[in-house]
Every structure is written in structure tokens, then in C-alpha cells.
Structure 1
């Protein structure tokens, strides 16, 4: 007489799975998928509602519920936002302030990161610590001194005021991130180049820059989002309608037609989102790779 032993059922079904079409889905994966789906809905639904609202006629805002679909495509809202709302002027001012600041910031930050992490000189740790301390300075603390300086220098309502401010305030984060990226570059590559007779400039331009192009692109995108969406400095230093950037212009847009016209207002917000959305969609892979380049030392 033989006896067979059966394994007792597990009280906690940690390895419980669902099978469908030959694929195995653990409970954890299902919960993770539901969580990701919920996050996507939280992010996407407001954008869809914003787009639908920008296509409604003025009468629909008072006669229909907030979540109702538009009866037609009322593109006149975008025409009003672009012409009467001066969105073309605001976008031009944002471009004139943002892109020169990013160029100056990358030029200074990339070179400073190289000097602080690759080169060996006395006091470099203290200098890097000063940049890290700069990350802790609240922007509101420097607002009044900067306003006084720009007022006396005649730089108010001038894009140069925003370019200088964006470059200075973005430099600590850029230098700190670039120092981490340079730290991930294998020292054997740099030492081999030096042994072969490469100068400092050759090492910088021909070796480190190509290795860190994704990291530099990531920093540029991150700073672009900060500068493009800035309201504090733009609202303080740009006081005239012709000098406002897009975020300050959106704030002034509400109510400038007498009673607020929500259709053109929502259309102007959609227009302001387009540049950031396009840049992210085009450079998404580079940004993701750049974020992980400095995570592991090579």
C-alpha cells in the first residue's frame, strides 16, 4: 500500500498567476498595469478636456455641461488667440529668451563640469560645493535684487534680462549634473588619450563630448521646460504687453476681452503646450538614455 503526499495549499498565494493565450500574468504585473493605466488617464484626460474645450463655441460654455463634447470644430478660437491674443508675440519673446539662455548655459555648464571632475586642481571640491549650495537658494530671494539691478541698467522689458537670469539660475543644476556625468566616463579612455599626446582641448572636444551627447541633450531639455514655463521672472521683468513671454502672456490673456472668453483662452493654452510636447516626443529616447548615463560608473 502506497501513500501519496499532496502539497498543502499556500495560504498566501504569492506566485498566483493568470494565464491567457499562453502568457502568464502575475497579480503584481496586473496591479502594476492597472496603476500605470490610471496614471496615464490622470495625465491624458485633462489634455483631452482642454483640447475639446478649445473647440467649443461661446454659447456651449453656458448651455452645456463642462465635460460635454463640442458640437462642432470652432477653429475661430485659435484665430482669436493668435491675433487678438498676441500669441505670436508671446511665442517669439519666449524663443528669444529661452534658446540663447540654453546655449550659454550648456557652454558654461559643460566646460565647468569638465574642469571640476576631469581636471585635478586644488580647491575644485570647494567650488563644486558652492554650485551645490546654489541649488538651495530660493528664487524669491534674488528677485528683488535682480529687479533693482535690471531697473538701474535699463534691462527691464528686454529679453537680455531673462537670458542672464535663466543662465545664472540654471547653472548650479547644470554643473552638478554634468559633474556626475563626467564621473561616469571611464578614466582609462582619458588617460590613454593623454598618453598618446592629446591636449586638454582634444580630450574635451573629441572624447568626452561625444560620449556625453545624450546627457547634454537631457540637460538641455530639462532646462528648456524650466525656462519655457517660467512665470516668476517673466512676470517681474517683462511688464509691457510687447515684451511678455508666453506664460506671462497667458496670465494677462484671461479677461483681456472684457468678460473672459474661455474658448480663446483654452486655445492659447493648447498653443503654448505644443512646443514642449513636440520636443519631448521627438527627443524622448535620448532623454531616457541620458538620465541613466550617469547612474552607473563606467
Structure 2
């Protein structure tokens, strides 16, 4: 007799029904997942719909209602009036430069601490990890003073260096966790074959760390792309304004805001990063999982 038959059959010819609590739990679970999905997706959908909405329709009707008419003039106005293309270029340069610095310094530092395990490596690890709890705001005034003395204000380096520095402890932790996941026998076999620490790093550690590199880049790129504090403090001219600073150009006299053009600009800047995140999400999740488990 199968399990299903045993559940249905009972002494006296009565039928035993499966507990309704299991079905109710599944319904509640799926409802919760659907609710979370709606909460996460709705703001982006509303952003896209508003970006193609006529300005008069947005001003005269409920801003959360469905558009009565659609137009692409908002995107043309956003690109023409807000210097959005130049802002995107600045954000790309700063994000790419900071992520490159984070990956290079994070990987090399983690390799030295976790794999080479030199004398005092535990102390160095502790000092780096203490940087996680240091708020970025306490460094604004000292960095501003130092940058003004060495003529680094209003440069890409003024924004890239602190962004990479404050992101380095977390990147170092992720790389160290992953390097601890790699069996020591691989390094020992490479050493027996005559490979030095540099060759082991380039031929073994680096190729195996691809998913962790993607994870570190994506986690930091999202933050750096939307970063406002450092850019607002160290950028003084319009030529180096990033996207968050450039969006201020849509605020006119007496606080008047071109909302539909602003939403169009936000859509242009958010969509590429979102698509990249969706494409690389599996590699990012794998990198987080491999960096949080060992053995």
C-alpha cells in the first residue's frame, strides 16, 4: 500500500484527509513572497511609467495613477537640460576606478593575510576589519583639508580614494573568506612544483576568485554609483559632477522641479546597473555563498 493510499484509507472505511495546515502554510508563504515582490518591483515600474508620462498629466492628476498619455519628450529634455551624459561619464570613471582599486588592493591584501600568513597577519586583519565600523562622515573634514593642501580637490582621485578606502575592509573580508575555502593542498602542490607566491596568485588564486570578484564589484558599484556625500564635498565644478549631483540641475527657481524629466533621468541611470545586476546575480550569489562557507 502506498503512502497516499495509507493516508486515504482508515479503519471503518473512513478517509483521512491531509492536514489543511500544510496547504495554508504554502498559501501564506506564496502570498508573502508575492507581497515582497510587489514591494520591490512597484517603485521601479512606477518610475518607468512616470518617466514616459506627460508633464501636464502628472501635474493635474494623481501622480500614482496610470498615465493618460505617453511621451518620450521627457528623456530628450533630461538629456538636453541636465547635462546627463557628462554626469554618467563621470560616474562611470569614478565607479570603475574605485572598483578596480578595491579589487586589486582587496585581493592582494587578503592573499597576503590569509594564504601567505606572515607574522603579524592577525593583527593586520584586525586593524582592517576595525575599519568596517568607522563612519565615513568623520573623515570628510580631514580629507577636505588634506586635499586642499595637495591640490587634489575637484579631481577624480579625490572621490575614488576615500570610496575605495572605506570599502576595502569588507572586500578584504570577502576575499579572505573565499581564500580560506580553497584547500591548502592546492597551494602546497603548486609550491612543490616550483611555483612562487606571485605565480600561485596569478595562476591559481585569481582564476578561482572570479565569482568573488564579481560579488565585490557589484556590491560596491551599486553604492558608489549612487554615492553623494564624498562627491558633494570634494567636487566643486559642474565638469566633474556625478549622477546624484547632476540631478540637482532639475530643480529650478523657487524650488520648482521638472518631475517627469527627473524621473526620466533616474530611469536612464538606474536601468543599465539593474540589468547588469540581474545578469550577474547568480555569480554574485555564488560568490557570497563560497565566501561564507568553508570545507
| TM-score, normalised via structure 1 length | 0.89
Please report the RMSD computed on the Cα atoms of aligned residues, expressed in angstroms. 2.2
Question: In 2, are the aligned partners of 1:186 and 1:297 still within 8 Å (CA)?
Answer: no
In 2, Cα distance between the equivalents of 1:128 and 1:253? Answer: 45
Could you report, residue by residue, the CA deviation over 1:70-110 in whole angstroms, capped at 9, with x for unpaired residues?
A: 23321111011111111111101111111011112211110
Q: Which residue of 2 aligns with 1:277?
A: 274
What secondary structure sits across from 1:182 in the alignment? helix
CA distance in 2, matches of 1:93, 1:257: 28
The match for 1:176 among 162, 173, 177 is: 173
> 1:147 is matched with which residue?
144
- Of the candidates 189, 192, 196, which is equivalent to residue 193 of structure 2? 196
Q: Deviations over 1:162-215 (max 9, x none)?
A: 111222111111111111111111111111211222211121111111222101
Q: Does 1:213 align with 2:216?
A: no
The yes-or-no answer on 1:49 pairing with 2:46 is: yes
Residue 109 to residue 258, structure 1, CA distance change in 2 (3 Å): same
SS at match of 1:118: helix
Asked if 1:186 corresponds to 2:148, the answer is no
**1:261-298: per-residue Cα shift (whole Å, max 9, x none)?**
11101111111212211210221111111111122213
- Give the CA deviation at 1:229: 1.0
How does 1:105-120 map onto structure 2 within 5 Å? Answer: 105-120=102-117
Aligned length: 286
CA distance in 1 between partners of 2:255 and 2:95 (Å):
31
Matched, 1:72 2:78: no
Instruction: Measure, in 1, the Cα distance between the counterparts of 2:28 and 2:180.
Output: 37
Asked if the contact 2:250/2:258 (under 8 Å) is kept, the reply is: no
Out of 88, 96, 109, the position equivalent to 2:93 is 96
Runs of 4+ aligned residues of structure 1 deviating over 6 Å after TM superposition are none
Preserved CA contact (<8 Å) 1:100 1:163: yes
1:132 aligns with 2:162: no
The runs of 5 or more residues in structure 1 that have no matched partner are 18-25
Gaps of 5+ in 2: 1-10
Map of 1:243 onto structure 2: 240
Task: Calculate the TM-score normalised by the size of structure 2.
Answer: 0.90
Alpha-carbon offset, residue 14 of structure 1? 6.2
